[in-house]
Amino acid sequence: MLRHTCAVVGFLLAVSVVSVSQTPATSTSVLPDGEGRENVQRICTGCHSLSVVTGQRMTRDHWQREVDDMVSRGAKGTPDEIALTVDYLSKHFGNSAALDGQAGSAETTRRDTVASRPNRALAELPKGEFVPHGDPATVPGGVTFQRILKANSEPQNWLTFGGTYKSLHYSLLDQITPENAKNLELKWVFQTHWLDPYETTPLVVDGVLYTTQGNDVVALDAVTGRLFWIYRYTPVPDARLCCGRITRGLAIYGDTLYLAAVDAHLIAIDAKTGNPLWDTTVARTQSGYTMTGAPLLVKDKVIVGVAGGEYGIRGFIAAYDAKTGKKAWTFYATAGPGDPNQHTWAGDSWKTGGGSTWLTGSYDADTNLLIWGIGNAGPDYNGDLRLGDNLYTSGLVAVDADTGKLKWWYQANPHNEYDWDGVQVPLLADIDWQGQPRKVVLWANRNGFFYVLDRVTGRFLLGKPFVKQTWNAGFDENGRPIMAENTKSSEEGTLIYPDNQGGTNWYGASYSPQSKLFYVIARDGYSTVFVKGPQQYTEGERYDGRGVRPRGRPTPQAVGAADEQLTAIRALDPHTGDRKWEYKLNTGASLNPFGGWQTNAGAAGILTTSTNLLICGGREGNFVVLDSTNGHLLWQTQLGGPMLMNPITYAVDGKQYIAIDAGTSLFVFGLRDGAEKNR
């Protein structure tokens, strides 16, 4: 499943300089007293927030490996300090530590909305208990299912995570063009008071921009960035967070917003005031379940997925009544009793088999199918503990949006041992395929392959690598991959391309019906030595079945020299998978704001427009606007922090804006006043 703790550092290292000045906000108060506490505070928060630490429960050996890995990535400390750090973490965040209050945090469940209300007493609100609201869709002017279904008819708004249900990340707005893009300028910035990765795709509805500030939800004036209200949310302190407190977006229905909180609570919020309306528990976070993806509103249901694949969860997709919060259906991502594919799991391994669903899927209204990516099987690196194909992990499933019944599935990596989730958002496109119109799924997978599937039947049409890969020796007639020799995870280590972070990851791809090209962020030239190790399941503890993964440490000599390792925007012909052009976002390593050197692999997702713009950003802070037909740079600026999620575009009062998260802030650009006519 998701990036494990070590991997998080890879991009957290690049948290902006702004974060440095805010580091004191990550107080040691969340750490229990004890020898080594100061070391943990100093060493760990050099790269990431303490929540990445306090969300874990691991054995001493496991902590030792984690800390060793961190040191290999640039964490600084003397041998004695490192040893003390391991002692402290083992004692206070070990597998024998009591769950409750172990983090020493005084945090309690708290929900509050602030909108010019000084001296307001905070209400202490019990979790999982709620007051259901009326039907959100009856509110005049609210966002109905039909509006989302026809989102392209109101391109000034961004009504759902992927822009439309097809998740193309493509906009029909046409004010900003290749000719006038040079006149873009910063309009406003929303600085979050938050240190974890900022990966939220905002929603925009009729001039109001909804986004998050960590776990909080905010409503902003889309023209000026000024706040209308803040809904504050504090997750339970014993939530098991694999990779930081990340929320990637919201859903809206009527005048109700939906937040999938990291502690696996689904919360409905009044979009006018920020008042919470109901709160329901989706899963037990103490077992490792979290939610980091944006919910998806389909008809009158809110659809959510879960994260936690490193904790032996059983992943699922679940639908909740948007009005009441009552669960409507659940689709389990590991085939268990009653499922004809249970035989793909040895024994009871399906119970802890992972299969997280942590990114938002797409919806095909023609077939009423949700098409959703499924994460890797668990334990991640040791498949001996789950012999079989492990359906439906590392694949796509299509389930009926009304019932959750499975319609078809495609598994990209049966019996995956490389941590390659299949959660990457599938794009639904209508293209000509071998001379005939065809409804297809375009899907760039973490395993380094670009796939084309028939979205009605799930039939495999094409699989072609878009980065260097060494695991695949072809496909059979059904699209099942043929494994290359010597690619099984082993105790001594097996070198595989791409690395466990994959050829691409959560940052979304784009398809432009205008240019008829598919665009993907490609992480090329990266590899991992996969080492399997013993693993036992204990609730709430990591369950990844891995040994150490020797990795190189970036050095100054690597800067500019390691050109075989790069992150690039690649334009692919969806009919063949052939590369049409490439724009390199970065290569090699660069200076880490916290000291040392870092690789810059990864980037924001991609947005394209009907005027042939491609908008994206890199880990190192360069925000770029390209010509989507040829990859030529039209305009760029430096935002001082990593961009980790797709930009969006919207319009208010006839003026088009582009919004993108960078570092810990949301940046919004538009054309200089008067430059709109310069086309």
Partner 1 sequence: MIRRSYLLGILLTVGMVAASSDCTKAQTESDKATQKGDVARGEAIFAGKGNCLSCHRVADRGSHLGPDLSAVGLVQGRAELQKELLNPLVTVPAQYQMYRVTTNAGQTFTGRLMNQDRNSIQLLDSTDRLRSFTKDHLRSYEFVATPPMPSYRDKLTPEEQADVIAYLLSLKGIVRQ
Active-site residues, by number, are 419
- Judged by the rule CB under 8 A, the positions of this chain that interact with partner 1 are 111-113, 115-117, 120-121, 123, 125-126, 128-136, 138-141, 206-208, 219, 221, 223-224, 226-229, 231, 255, 269-270, 272-280, 324-326
- Using the structure block, give the residue that is written with the tokens 């936690």: 308
Closest CB 266 distance from partner 1, rounded Å: 13
Contacts of 121 (CB under 8 A, 6+ apart): none
Closest CB 18 distance from partner 1, rounded Å: 21
Indicate the residue among 123 and 633 with the shorter CB distance to partner 1: 123
User: To which H or E segment does residue 229 belong?
Assistant: strand 227-234
Indicate the residue among 205 and 452 with the shorter CB distance to partner 1: 205
- Can you give 260-278 as a three-state secondary structure string? ECCCCEEEEEECCCCCEEE
Q: Which among 502, 544, 44, 30 has a CA at the least distance from the CA of 308?
A: 544
Write out the two tokens for 551: 């990795």
Indicate the residue among 277 and 614 with the shorter CB distance to partner 1: 277
Pairing of strands 579-587, 622-627: unpaired
b/e burial code for range 327-360 (CB count within 10 A of at least 16 → b): ebbebbbbbeeebebeebbeeebbebbbbbbbbb
- Using the structure block, give the residue that is written with the tokens 């990795």: 551
Please tell me the distance from the alpha carbon of residue 511 to that of residue 257, in angstroms, as a whole number. Answer: 27
Q: Are 6 and 499 in contact (CB under 8 A)?
A: no
DSSP per residue, 583-613: EEEEESEEE-TTSSEEE---B---EEETTSE
User: What backbone phi and psi angles, to 5 degrees, belong to 40?
Assistant: -60, -45
Indicate the residue among 328 and 365 with the shorter CB distance to partner 1: 328
Q: Are 290 and 242 in contact (CB under 8 A)?
A: yes
Indicate the residue among 273 and 487 with the shorter CB distance to partner 1: 273
Q: How many CB atoms lie within 10 A of CB 273?
A: 15
Indicate the residue among 93 and 231 with the shorter CB distance to partner 1: 231
Q: Are 263 and 285 in contact (CB under 8 A)?
A: yes
Indicate the residue among 134 and 556 with the shorter CB distance to partner 1: 134
Indicate the residue among 154 and 221 with the shorter CB distance to partner 1: 221
Dihedral over Cα of 116, 121, 126, 127: its sign: positive
Indicate the residue among 132 and 534 with the shorter CB distance to partner 1: 132
Indicate the residue among 101 and 132 with the shorter CB distance to partner 1: 132
Q: Which among 389, 377, 370, 364 has a CA at the least distance from the CA of 310?
A: 377
Q: Which among 463, 581, 583, 575 has a CA at the least distance from the CA of 516?
A: 575
Paired with 174 in beta bridges are none
b/e burial code for range 370-391 (CB count within 10 A of at least 16 → b): bbbbbbbbbbbbbbebbebbbb
Please tell me the distance from the alpha carbon of residue 615 to that of residue 623, in angstroms, as a whole number. Answer: 8
What is the distance, to the nearest Å, from the Cα of residue 494 to the centroid of all Cα atoms in its chain?
27
- Using the structure block, give the residue that is written with the tokens 């992150």: 567
Please tell me the distance from the alpha carbon of residue 447 to that of residue 137, in angstroms, as a whole number. Answer: 40
Closest CB 272 distance from partner 1, rounded Å: 5
Q: Are 363 and 369 in contact (CB under 8 A)?
A: yes
